[in-house]
Chains A and B, each alone.
Chain A
């Protein structure tokens, strides 16, 4: 069978070649290597920089070995504590960044929209609401539930409630925005706006009730701003175990989400069990967002910015995008935290505030960049 060469096909060839070159500017492996180098640099800077004096590499090494029982602690008990706090902060930051970016990558894949992210859709708000309810339920006005002094069974309860809140919001937005198996993007974003507003109101109401209890109020407000200081082994354990479980969905959903790109119906025709894939991906996204929020509060826009930038750099395939999120998220969260600590010193801002200041304009940029597509919604 021969098909005559046509002018439109020749034009398409030239355009296609240019576009192909553009999309192949960075291979996923090269990008992963760059991100790994950046992450190592962020980790080194992260453990050295803090509100107190900079720690030397020798102290950091000895303090770190002592943490895992392979050496004597530093002579100064205070210095050992500072060293440990920095290690936990860095470990938690990496876990939180990876979890939020992974959550965004999964949500964007399921909803086939680059504007979907746990914060825009209200998933992190749902987690925050769940965490605040847990605080109210078990705190009884007690200060032991302060985010930096959690102990006993309370942290597990907070994580469980945060997960329930995140999952509840995910199920709700999916149910409302889906008609006949198709997700309406405007409905999705409007539901996200409505849920964020409703949950914001509920959180404000809870904070108003708790105004007389300054510890309780502080605990809840901390969730609103996000916090990476004063983390402990517990926080690191929660976020890393949740992240591990969430990342375990990648091999079971990545190729399938690539096939979702042309439509759910089309993916079904190719043999994809679309219900199972959506359920697994949404559970993974909710768990990732929930553990991140439950250990450090709300940090918005990481799940929006990271997958989008990585997609621009290395292409749309979820088989590379989702693993890259596990490196890109930590680079953004830890990098931004270290950078602002270096720039602002003791007056550094909470990470949630920094990310909102970076992510808000980025969201507007995305809307403007996709203006034609947005107007067609």
Chain B
């Protein structure tokens, strides 16, 4: 299922427009990374795509349906969200937490069926977190917790996956693991949209990059087209160093960008 933003606009109280007329599409099997400086409107855009915020103008389409017309349960059956962080970590076991992802599929009064338990097991296994099921969420390391958050979204079995800065405060090994996991989801036909500050992970794994600046799309294309000095200079300044390396997945050279003050 494709997810399509059409002329999305959203204002927070104050003079700045958070999202200002954004149009873009993430298609089935695509991993689209939304990049841009702090405060550019990336997370707001993701919340609009998830239906957590109502746009002031424009619409989000999920296949043939308009997001605003869907009930909360119907929406959750189509879109899975991995938040950047939770307000508070509930004192629950991982399996129970991941079962929360099945909420939109459960019958009245939330009684889980065999089908739901199987979906939870499959999601945990896909995230290499099957052995964490009986552990408390509060006792997991950062990398484990991130995998469990993704597992919960996978348990939703939604064709669209929206992920907000999944590698924050993770070590490089776990960053790669998380992006490999997200890239895997595209093989199953999901459309995956990831908001990230990590240009190099985005370059390695994304089908397309969407560069957002001041609530607008400044560039939209394959990594090699977006991660160029002439595109990024106006967004991130001129203190970046550019190069390219073959990516492990397909051996094709991909650009990298380092915050490295070259002479």
Contact A1/B76 with A20-B93, A20-B134, A23-B136 known, Cβ cut-off 8 Å? no
Task: Confirm or deny: A251 has a beta carbon within 8 angstroms of a beta carbon on chain B.
Answer: yes
Task: Confirm or deny: B103 has a beta carbon within 8 angstroms of a beta carbon on chain A.
Answer: yes
Chain B 84-115 interface 0/1 with A at a Cβ cutoff of 8 Å (1 = within): 00111111110011001101101011100000
Task: Give the distance in Å from the alpha carbon of A266 to the alpha carbon of B47 in the complex.
Answer: 11
Task: Confirm or deny: A127 has a beta carbon within 8 angstroms of a beta carbon on chain B.
Answer: no
A9 near B141 with CB under 8 A, answer: yes
A271 near B76 with CB under 8 A, answer: yes
- What's the least CB distance linking B187 to chain A, in Å? 13
Task: Confirm or deny: B50 has a beta carbon within 8 angstroms of a beta carbon on chain A.
Answer: yes
Task: Confirm or deny: B207 has a beta carbon within 8 angstroms of a beta carbon on chain A.
Answer: no
A261 near B135 with CB under 8 A, answer: no
> Which residues does chain B contribute within 8 Å of A262, judged by CB atoms?
86-90, 97, 100
Instruction: Pick the interface stretch among B27-35, B67-75, B197-205, B208-216.
Output: B67-75
- What's the least CB distance linking A330 to chain B, in Å? 24
- What's the least CB distance linking A17 to chain B, in Å? 7
Instruction: Pick the interface stretch among A47-55, A208-216, A252-260, A298-306.
Output: A252-260
- What's the least CB distance linking A323 to chain B, in Å? 12
> Which residues does chain B contribute within 8 Å of A13, judged by CB atoms?
135
Majority secondary structure of chain B interface residues (helix, strand, loop or mixed): helix
Query: Size band of the B side of the interface?
Result: 35 or more
Closest B residue, CB atoms, query A17:
B135
List CB contacts (< 8 Å) of A216-266 with chain B.
Answer: 251-252, 254-256, 258-259, 261-266
Task: Confirm or deny: A319 has a beta carbon within 8 angstroms of a beta carbon on chain B.
Answer: yes
Task: Confirm or deny: A58 has a beta carbon within 8 angstroms of a beta carbon on chain B.
Answer: no
- What's the least CB distance linking B11 to chain A, in Å? 14
B103 near A263 with CB under 8 A, answer: no
B141 near A12 with CB under 8 A, answer: yes
Task: Confirm or deny: A6 has a beta carbon within 8 angstroms of a beta carbon on chain B.
Answer: yes
Task: Confirm or deny: A345 has a beta carbon within 8 angstroms of a beta carbon on chain B.
Answer: no
Instruction: Pick the interface stretch among B17-25, B173-181, B220-228, B249-257.
Output: B173-181
A269 near B86 with CB under 8 A, answer: no
Task: Confirm or deny: B77 has a beta carbon within 8 angstroms of a beta carbon on chain A.
Answer: yes
A265 near B91 with CB under 8 A, answer: no
B141 near A272 with CB under 8 A, answer: no
Closest B residue, CB atoms, query A261:
B90
Can you list 24 pairs linking A and B with CB atoms under 8 Å apart? A1-B128, A3-B128, A3-B143, A12-B135, A12-B144, A112-B87, A252-B109, A254-B110, A255-B103, A262-B88, A262-B97, A262-B100, A263-B86, A266-B86, A268-B72, A269-B52, A270-B100, A270-B103, A271-B77, A271-B104, A272-B72, A272-B103, A274-B72, A317-B96
Chain B 127-161 interface 0/1 with A at a Cβ cutoff of 8 Å (1 = within): 01000001110111101100000001000100000
Task: Confirm or deny: A142 has a beta carbon within 8 angstroms of a beta carbon on chain B.
Answer: no
Contact A316/B139 with A259-B103, A273-B71 known, Cβ cut-off 8 Å? no
Task: Confirm or deny: B7 has a beta carbon within 8 angstroms of a beta carbon on chain A.
Answer: no
> Which residues does chain A contribute within 8 Å of B72, judged by CB atoms?
268, 271-274
- What's the least CB distance linking B30 to chain A, in Å? 21
Closest B residue, CB atoms, query A251:
B109
> Which residues does chain A contribute within 8 Å of B92, judged by CB atoms?
258, 261, 315-317
Task: Give the distance in Å from the alpha carbon of A359 to the alpha carbon of B72 in the complex.
Answer: 39
> Which residues does chain A contribute within 8 Å of B152, judged by CB atoms?
270
> Which residues does chain A contribute within 8 Å of B52, judged by CB atoms?
265, 268-269
Task: Confirm or deny: B83 has a beta carbon within 8 angstroms of a beta carbon on chain A.
Answer: yes
> Which residues does chain A contribute within 8 Å of B51, judged by CB atoms?
268
Task: Give the distance in Å from the alpha carbon of A269 to the alpha carbon of B156 in the complex.
Answer: 10
Chain A 270-284 interface 0/1 with B at a Cβ cutoff of 8 Å (1 = within): 111110000000000
- What's the least CB distance linking B168 to chain A, in Å? 16
A20 near B128 with CB under 8 A, answer: no
Chain A 104-131 interface 0/1 with B at a Cβ cutoff of 8 Å (1 = within): 0000000010000000000000000000
Task: Give the distance in Å from the alpha carbon of A264 to the alpha carbon of B86 in the complex.
Answer: 10
A270 near B156 with CB under 8 A, answer: yes
> Which residues does chain B contribute within 8 Å of A251, judged by CB atoms?
108-109
Task: Give the distance in Å from the alpha carbon of A81 to the alpha carbon of B59 in the complex.
Answer: 69
Known: A262-B87, A270-B152. 6 other contacts (CB 8 A): A1-B180, A2-B128, A19-B138, A112-B87, A256-B103, A269-B52
Task: Confirm or deny: A152 has a beta carbon within 8 angstroms of a beta carbon on chain B.
Answer: no
List CB contacts (< 8 Å) of A22-41 with chain B.
Answer: 23
Task: Confirm or deny: B62 has a beta carbon within 8 angstroms of a beta carbon on chain A.
Answer: no
Task: Confirm or deny: B45 has a beta carbon within 8 angstroms of a beta carbon on chain A.
Answer: no
Task: Confirm or deny: B120 has a beta carbon within 8 angstroms of a beta carbon on chain A.
Answer: no
Task: Give the distance in Å from the alpha carbon of A261 to the alpha carbon of B100 in the complex.
Answer: 11
> Which residues does chain A contribute within 8 Å of B195, judged by CB atoms?
none
- What's the least CB distance linking B51 to chain A, in Å? 8
- What's the least CB distance linking B32 to chain A, in Å? 19
Task: Give the distance in Å from the alpha carbon of A262 to the alpha carbon of B92 in the complex.
Answer: 10
- What's the least CB distance linking B142 to chain A, in Å? 8
Task: Give the distance in Å from the alpha carbon of A21 to the alpha carbon of B93 in the complex.
Answer: 11
A16 near B103 with CB under 8 A, answer: no
Closest A residue, CB atoms, query B162:
A269
A16 near B86 with CB under 8 A, answer: no
CB within 8 A of A265: which of B87, B100, B106, B136?
Answer: B87
Q: Kindly list the 4 A-B residue pairs having the minimum CB-CB distance in the complex, ordered from nearest.
A: A271-B76, A263-B87, A255-B110, A271-B104
> Which residues does chain B contribute within 8 Å of A17, judged by CB atoms?
135
Task: Confirm or deny: B40 has a beta carbon within 8 angstroms of a beta carbon on chain A.
Answer: no
> Which residues does chain A contribute within 8 Å of B138, judged by CB atoms?
19
> Which residues does chain A contribute within 8 Å of B136, judged by CB atoms?
16, 19-20, 23
> Which residues does chain B contribute within 8 Å of A256, judged by CB atoms?
103, 110
Closest A residue, CB atoms, query B87:
A263
Task: Give the distance in Å from the alpha carbon of A270 to the alpha carbon of B97 in the complex.
Answer: 11
CB within 8 A of A270: which of B74, B104, B108, B177?
Answer: B104
Task: Give the distance in Å from the alpha carbon of A179 to the alpha carbon of B210 in the complex.
Answer: 31
- What's the least CB distance linking B45 to chain A, in Å? 15
